[in-house]
Amino acid sequence: MPAPNAGLLLDIDDVAKTYGSGTLALSGVKAHIERGSFVSLLGPSGCGKSTLLRIIAGLITPTHGAINWAGADQRPGDIGFVFQDATLMPWARVLENVYLPLKLKGVSLQEARPLVFDALERVGLADFAQAFPRELSGGMRMRVSIARALVTEPPVLLMDEPFAALDEFTREKLDDDLLALWQDQKWTVIFVTHSVYESVYLSERILVMGARPGRILSEFTIDAPYPRGIAFRQSTDYLVQCAAVTASLRKGPA
Amino acid sequence: MNGESTSRVTRIIAPLLVGLAFLLLWEGLVHVYDIPSFVLPAPSRIAESFWLNAGSLMGSLWITLKITLSAFLLAVVGGVGLAILFSQSRTVEMALFPYAIILQVTPVVSIAPLILIWVGFERTQLALLILAWIVAFFPILSNTTLGLRSADHNLRDLFRLYGASRWQVLTELQLPGALPYMLAGMKISGGLALIGAVVAEFVAGSGTSSGLAWRIIEAGNRLDIPKMFAALFLLSALGIAIFFILTLIEHLALRRWHESALRQES
Ligand SMILES: Nc1ncnc2c1ncn2[C@@H]1O[C@H](COP(=O)(O)OP(=O)(O)OP(=O)(O)O)[C@@H](O)[C@H]1O
Ligand SMILES: [Mg+2]
């Protein structure tokens, strides 16, 4: 039995956020994230999921509390961030978009090229390196933005509803791809979603959030083994867990 | 495909036909009503005058072109440069922007005499250049400033996440994103530089400079109306050429990625 918190990556310490407009987006959020785990933030629209993710990334500062990192994992480039929409540079080709994080770190294109193609390979878009974002479908753009987050091989991956805009078919495929990558690389993934089914399918742990003010209502551990495939999606266990999570979303604070 | 090429041909042919019909009608009316050429010369008379005065007109065209182009290029350099400065410091922007507006809203005709006196009448061309620059500079400044500020918020965050320097944010994010705005400003400024150069020369009147505006004044004084028209046509042709060249540059720069340059596939 390892010592408690041996694998702790970060600790969300009583975080609150009030926006300039007066909106209390988060209040009293406490949680900890284990290194190498797959954690979902699940909650209805407007409950502060994006806000919390941005605070973890250091993009906005909380009005109260802090994010305490256990290691030296906050160096620039150690966090991969996937936004709610693809957020690509329209003037740059796919290759240049994925190269961006490395370029900003001063890596030459020649040196970066194999890494860029490796990242594109993982999302299945190596053939589209020379395309412009507008020439791709919405799902392909999203995959480019995932490749961009992967290219620095970050130990921590923050994803803000990355597949929300996609059809169910593509989404389930990307879910599986993501899980395969995660198992392969052993990153920590914090995954924001408003889909109960997606969160149960993907996560080891689910933090259920509620709105007004945004806070964590309850927590679930999904201990089905990985790899999870279609068999898990169709199992009774899966449906039971989904029902439990849904119930806690309905009920409010535990 | 077929529809597209038809519409492209129409875009060129239709205005040309209208212009030709207009000239023919003009020629016909002048002859039918026997209008004297010091009131309204027939197009054929204008062409003839153009041919006779080709030397002096082309020389003037060259001078006007030189002033316009230099003013335009300096406006691009100054406008983009100042916009970059503004994007780096809000304080500088707040301190300087009002003066840029003052420069813009003051009619060029009203400051022309002052500039002419300051620069000296023996250097009229320099005065014209300054005046044309003043007119051309503002659209580029204000458009580029807006463009530099319009960078996508999430992309900005992404750059921050990867520890981008100010310089990297400027060159990799803000400037490419501002390009469409800059080019739109340049299209306005190109025309304005020409207007500025011509208006300023009208105010300067006789001097060492002898651009197209001076040819118009000169011909007017001598009641040489056909030559006046010839100079006028040259001026329009120059304006149209500037517009088309800038439109072409815009198209070439943006066609691969920007919404404005995309043609909907159908
Ligand atoms: N920049 C901002 N300025 C002011 N208020 C904001 C800002 N961003 C978010 N908010 C407010 O904070 C609350 C939480 O927003 P947030 O974007 O974190 O929600 P969310 O859970 O991500 O929602 P969704 O699922 O729709 O993306 C909302 O009420 C929103 O109005
Ligand atoms: Mg959100």
Residue B1 sits in the same domain as residue B76: no
Q: What is the ipTM of this complex?
A: 0.87
For residue B144, the CA-to-ligand 2 centroid distance in Å is 31
Among residues 75-134 of chain B, which lie with CB inside 8 Å of chain A? none
For residue A211, the CA-to-ligand 1 centroid distance in Å is 10
Decide if B40 is inside a domain.
no
Q: What is the pLDDT of residues A204-236, one digit of tens each?
A: 999 999 888 888 988 888 888 888 888 888 888
Work out the minimum CA distance from B189 to partner chain A, whole angstroms.
24
Helix, strand, or coil (residue A78): coil
Residue B100 sits in the same domain as residue B9: no
Which residue lies with its CA nearest to atom 22 of ligand 1? A50
Contact A89 B154 (CB under 8 A): no
Say which CATH number the domain at B197 has. 1.10.3720.10
- φ, ψ (nearest 5 deg) of residue A203: -90, 160
Q: CA B34 → CA B20, B28, B38, B227, distances in Å?
A: 21, 10, 12, 19
**Proximal ligand: closest to the CA of A52:** 1
State the pLDDT at residue A102. 92
Peptide bond into A162 cis (omega under 30): no
Which residue lies with its CA nearest to atom 13 of ligand 1? A25
Residue B119 sits in the same domain as residue B28: no
- Choosing among A100, A144, A159, which should be mutated to test the B contact, i.e. which has the most B CBs within 10 A? A100
The long-range contacts involving A197-202, CB below 8 angstroms and separated by at least 24 positions, are A197/A242, A198/A40, A198/A163, A198/A171, A199/A40, A199/A42, A199/A245, A200/A238, A200/A241, A200/A242, A200/A245, A201/A175, A201/A228, A201/A232, A201/A233, A201/A238, A202/A38, A202/A40, A202/A175, A202/A178
Nearest one of A9, A50, A38, A44 to A200, comparing CA atoms: A38
Of the two residues A253 and A148, the one the predictor is more confident about is A148
Nearest one of B3, B162, B146, B156 to B80, comparing CA atoms: B146
State the pLDDT at residue A252. 61
B166 touches chain A (CB under 8 A): no
Residue B7 sits in the same domain as residue B76: no
* Domains contained in chain A, CATH given: 8-251 (3.40.50.300)
User: Which residue in chain B has the smallest CA separation from A50?
Assistant: B154
CB-defined site of ligand 1, < 6 Å: A 19, 21, 23, 25, 43, 45-51, 194, 214
Residue B105 sits in the same domain as residue B178: yes
Residue B51 sits in the same domain as residue B24: no
Q: Which residues lie below 8 Å from residue A161, measured CB to CB, with a gap of 6+?
A: A49, A84, A192, A193, A194
Contact B257 A77 (CB under 8 A): no
State the pLDDT at residue B207. 63
Q: Which domain holds residue B28?
A: 1-35
Report how many domains make up chain B. 2
Banded model confidence at residue A3, pLDDT cuts 50, 70, 90:
very low
State the pLDDT at residue B256. 81
Nearest one of A65, A50, A42, A45 to A209, comparing CA atoms: A42
Residue B29 sits in the same domain as residue B51: no
- Find chain A residues with C-beta within 8 A of B257's C-beta: 90-91, 132-134
- Choosing among A55, A75, A93, A104, which should be mutated to test the B contact, i.e. which has the most B CBs within 10 A? A104
Please, what are the averages of pLDDT over each run of 10 residues along chain B (266 residues)?
68 89 92 87 90 90 93 95 92 88 85 86 85 92 93 92 91 93 94 91 75 88 90 92 92 83 60
Decide if B58 is inside a domain.
yes
